[in-house]
Amino acid sequence: MVESSAQAFAPRIVARRPAWSEAGEEPRLGDMLADPIVHLVMARDNLSRADVERAVAFGQRAMRSRLCSLCAA
């Protein structure tokens, strides 16, 4: 397929992904739990720091058990 001269010199639009869609370094849990805004949200939801830490530990154990079973196969 041959491009016309108008097509050959037309600016090409390149879609850029928004910055928020890029993966970056995640904050540490301790840093997030030290944030005053997080404290307000947790208070609104009637959660304590210990509640959040227990939930995270539970999720970590569940993920490890799934990964370990996949590695053993």
pTM: 0.56
Mean pLDDT in residue range 6-10: 64
**25-41 mean pLDDT:** 92
Among 3-7, 19-23, 30-34, top mean pLDDT goes to 30-34
Quote the CA–CA distance of 13 and 5 in Å, as a whole number: 17
At residue 72, does pLDDT exceed 70?
Answer: no
Q: Tell me what pLDDT residue 57 has.
A: 95
Phi, psi of 49 (to 5 degrees): -60, -40
